[in-house]
Amino acid sequence: MSVPTGSPSDVATQQNAFSAAEDARSGLKRDIGPVGLLFAGVGSIIGSGWLFGAFKATHGAGPAAIFAWLIGAVMILLIGLVFSELGSMFPVSGGVVRFPHYSHGSFASYTMGWVTWLAAAVVAPIEVEGALTYATSYAHWITNADGTLTWPKGYLIAAAGMLLFSFINMIGIGFFARLNNVIVWWKLAIILITVFALLFTTFHASNFTSHGFAPSGLKGMFHTIVVAGIVFSFLGFRQGVELGGETSNPRRNIPLAVVGSIVICAVIYILLQVAYIAALPGKELANGWASVGLNIPQAAGPLAWVASLIGLGWLSKVLLADAVISPADTGFIYMTVTTRLSYAMARNGNAPKVFAKTSNRGVPWASVLLAFVVGLIIFLPFPSWNKLVGFVTNSTVLSFGSGSVVLMSMRHQFPDQERPFRLPGGHIIPFLAFFSANQMIYWAGWDTNWRLFVAVLLGLVILGVQMLIHPGGMPNLQWRNGWWILVWFAGLAIISWQGIYSSDDLAHGQQNNIPFGWDFLVNIVFSLAIYALAIHCRLGPQEARTQVEETPVDDPGGVIPGTP
């Protein structure tokens, strides 16, 4: 598999050769068209987040939640633009994991791959549990009063959901795309009906100012961007990158899917936030935004509750039905993506070879089985569902953060590589994307972040165990090119620990040693230092070319006779 070099007239031909060689070695099928890839992103974004996001955002920010959605969308869009260029350069499945392998070697790809896979693997079970929570309105025996699954009935229903996702994945990517397209049209219709029904039924303009536009100030608004599920709601844009090795025209479809899904959903989410604020009866705001809806029944949900308050009983029933369909579809998509990440790690040589094996339908079957088993473990009662969502958000943002330094490293390593989508402005957008990722992690607060960094340490322990058990079977970790990641993670941990968001109670932070305002400056300086260090540590051009051309597993795309 050659990396395109030479005159511009030869680049397109060589880029096509890259894709053809990748297809032959991967065993995957390019069966997803432009709408299918775009809808994979849109369908993943519109999951359980839209059902809770508007409600939770106003608790922390009041009407300023409108700007929280806008700022969150812009920050995610910056990251999405970076991955649009990367994805169109190297249209491979599991790109978020494989790109660091190309630019910074095996240790970098293992570390980022571990964080990325762990985050994605948790999402499908979370969405299944979200769907079943709403299904409690029809079957009260599915969940307990605290939202955990009942044993054994609730757990078995959840397991059946994961089994269904696995079965659909085993059929093939083409069937996945067709099924998802249908469901996404439904999801878009329901959310637009909700927005316009709320807007045109009642509009209390005074709600935007009666109890303060930003009752918690800028500090609370920024915190809301992460902890209220705003960032979580946009993370599905990644599907345009993760499924890039399975789309028919990656140079066009990947940027369209990434940027298009973020823009479409940002417009919808902001309209929904406005509609929710304006629809609330004034009496519900008597004690301020933080107290709105505290007594909503578990199975009702905030939007269905508001619809009932303003006399839209039919909309309430529709929302309760969609509250099962939307999260289930997102969980289905994330299970597909999780399998592509473990597949990519195996292609990088950082996971057992079996996870890169594909069936005769082009499905990484062992990765599907792994995602199913992990889902069953995650279904076991966890102490806090919200903490789990926060963990997913931060670990995903952390994995996205590496994209900026990978992109700018590749501009040195592969100057002649065809870039169907190229970001203008040199370092400006990539650095802003890197800073945005670091800032979002900081805004989440130490109570969430310590769990993330413990998970990173667990991944390093697993790597160490692998090296002890199979000292000759591990690839060269290329430590000198990847050690900067540990400095990056350690710095983020220290800044988070010492900052004003070190506790869930913003008024009583555990450390509070970095004042508000100064924390932006600290993060900018830190981000500049790590950004420069990471680009400096990149592989040399020939080493990077070798990373792309070599596949570190035996016959990774091979079909094992007799497999599904």
pLDDT above 90: residue 538: yes
Q: How many CB atoms lie within 10 A of CB 324?
A: 17
Predicted confidence at residue 198, as pLDDT, reads 93
Predicted confidence at residue 279, as pLDDT, reads 92
CATH of the domain at 496: 1.20.1740.10
Structure tokens that stand for 18 in this block: 């890259």
Alpha carbons 492 and 444: distance in angstroms, whole number: 11
Predicted confidence at residue 253, as pLDDT, reads 80
CA angle (362 as vertex; 118, 167 as ends), nearest 5: 65
Look-up: residue for tokens 């240790």?
107
Instruction: For 389-461, list the strands marked E by DSSP.
Output: none
304 falls within a domain? yes
Alpha carbons 68 and 226: distance in angstroms, whole number: 9
What SS3 state is found at 358? Answer: strand
- Yes or no: say if 233 and 49 are a contact pair by the CB < 8 Å rule: yes
233 falls within a domain? yes
Exposed, middle or buried, 31 (CB in 10 Å: 0-12/13-18/19+)? Answer: middle
Question: Could you read off the pLDDT of 149-197 as tens digits, one per residue?
Answer: 788 888 898 888 888 888 877 776 666 667 777 888 888 899 999 999 9
Look-up: residue for tokens 């094996």?
357
pLDDT above 80: residue 148: no
Q: Which of 244, 231, 246 is nearest to 83 (CA)?
A: 244
HEC letters along 523-542: HHHHHHHHHHHHHHCCCCHH
Q: How far is CA 274 from CA 54, 334, 357, in A?
A: 9, 29, 48
pLDDT above 90: residue 427: yes
Q: If you compute the radius of gyration of the chain from its CA atoms, what whole number of angstroms results?
A: 23
What SS3 state is found at 514? Answer: strand
- Yes or no: say if 479 and 104 are a contact pair by the CB < 8 Å rule: no
CA angle (102 as vertex; 98, 108 as ends), nearest 5: 70
Alpha carbons 266 and 233: distance in angstroms, whole number: 10
Alpha carbons 445 and 390: distance in angstroms, whole number: 10
557 falls within a domain? no
Look-up: residue for tokens 């045109």?
200
* Confidence label for 506 from pLDDT (cuts 50, 70 and 90): very low
Structure tokens that stand for 269 in this block: 């989410």
How many structural domains does the chain have? 1
Strand partners, 374: none
What SS3 state is found at 352? Answer: coil
Q: Which of 121, 103, 227 is nearest to 485 (CA)?
A: 103
Predicted confidence at residue 368, as pLDDT, reads 86
Structure tokens that stand for 509 in this block: 């932070």
Strand partners, 143: 149
Predicted confidence at residue 434, as pLDDT, reads 97
Q: Taking the mean position of all CA atoms in its chain, how far away is CA 81?
A: 15
Q: Encode burial over 346-363: b for 16+ CB neighbours within 10 A, e otherwise.
A: bbbbbbbbbbbbbbebbb
Instruction: For 394-546, list the strands marked E by DSSP.
Output: none
* Confidence label for 558 from pLDDT (cuts 50, 70 and 90): very low
135 falls within a domain? yes
Strand partners, 463: none
Q: How far is CA 283 from CA 210, 291, 309, 492, 560, in A?
A: 11, 11, 11, 42, 64
16 falls within a domain? no
Between 380 and 519, where is the model more confident?
519
pLDDT above 50: residue 554: no
Domain that holds residue 143: 29-549
Q: For the residues 81-95, what does the mean pLDDT come to? A: 81
* Confidence label for 6 from pLDDT (cuts 50, 70 and 90): very low
Between 43 and 215, where is the model more confident?
215
- Mean pLDDT, rounded, of the chain: 80
Structure tokens that stand for 404 in this block: 């900026």
- Yes or no: say if 220 and 506 are a contact pair by the CB < 8 Å rule: yes
Look-up: residue for tokens 């100030």?
217
What SS3 state is found at 300? Answer: coil
* Confidence label for 524 from pLDDT (cuts 50, 70 and 90): very high
Predicted confidence at residue 34, as pLDDT, reads 74
Alpha carbons 172 and 167: distance in angstroms, whole number: 9
218 falls within a domain? yes
Alpha carbons 2 and 10: distance in angstroms, whole number: 13
pLDDT above 50: residue 26: no
Between 202 and 382, where is the model more confident?
202
Which range (6-15, 252-261, 402-411, 474-483) has the least confidence?
A: 6-15
232 falls within a domain? yes
474 falls within a domain? yes
Alpha carbons 406 and 492: distance in angstroms, whole number: 19
